[in-house]
Amino acid sequence: MAQRAKTENVWFITGAARGIGLSLARQALAQGDRVAATSRTLASLDRAFGGDNPKLLKLEVDLTAETSVQTAIEKTITVYGRIDRVVNNAGYGQQGTVEALTDAELRRNFEVNVFAPLHVLRYALPHLRQQRSGHIFNVASIVGFQGGYAGWGSYVSSKFALAGLTESLAAEVAELGINATVVYPGPVRTGFLSKDSLVVAQHSIADYTEAQASLELHLNGLDGKQAGDPEKVAILILQAAAASAPPLHLFAGKIANELAGQKMQAVGKDLELWRDASEATDFSN
């Protein structure tokens, strides 16, 4: 088993061959940490990271297969002795209206965006619990906090699920010395919106013009022009990991902050307008 200096952390990062995951893995390595990086293929990791590095463990993992995830976690423990930082970063966008999406399209999106992170947590948490330390980062999206986007119901709901999961998880693991953070990036300049990454529903319904306009905007107007810098998002995550009192909710980017503020104002308005009617539903004692 490899020996590890006390100041080093071991990161387990999913979706590490590109985007935020790749930026985070590179920066963690640059600061002297060890990284177990997962992707669907070793070839993609080789392209991303180049040759061998004793502080980098490349893992080909099918995140939707529980046994594949279990093997990856166990190999990380065997090689590095522990895991300190778990980053559930892998995921993909599914576009399509709620009416048009098939059951298979919805379930596949949730398999990758929700159930895959749960596989990782199921096998990483026993080690973190035994250590009485660790930090879990679940990378959602600002649409997992403010979800009013026509044609994105599947992706939005999967990210809301991941955010809610993180809140509950944080309450569970606090007594064990483990932190949990949900990351809400705004639009980040990665390959997320490329035609090779974004999945569009096989069926569309012409009446939903807002959903179609949103799809065209994202594919033709926003791809490659997003405001967020994945390198700076990675720095933000590293800062949160090093904080003595890390946040549960971590918003990344000016757009994310603005949209979060709008959502909180809208909820506050509804809360106040309907407060009397709402409280009238309680039993009168």
Active site residue ranges: 155, 159
Question: Which of 174, 167, 188, 143 shows the shortest CA–CA distance to 249?
Answer: 167
**Paired strand residues for 10:** 34
User: How far is 79 from 58, CA to CA, in rounded Å?
Assistant: 11
Q: Kindly state the DSSP code that residue 58 receives in the 8-state scheme.
A: E
Residues in the chain: 285
CA distances from 11 to 6, 33, 62, 67 (A): 14, 7, 18, 20
Helix (H) or strand (E) holding 185: strand 178-185
Phi (first) and psi of residue 127, to 5 degrees: -75, -40
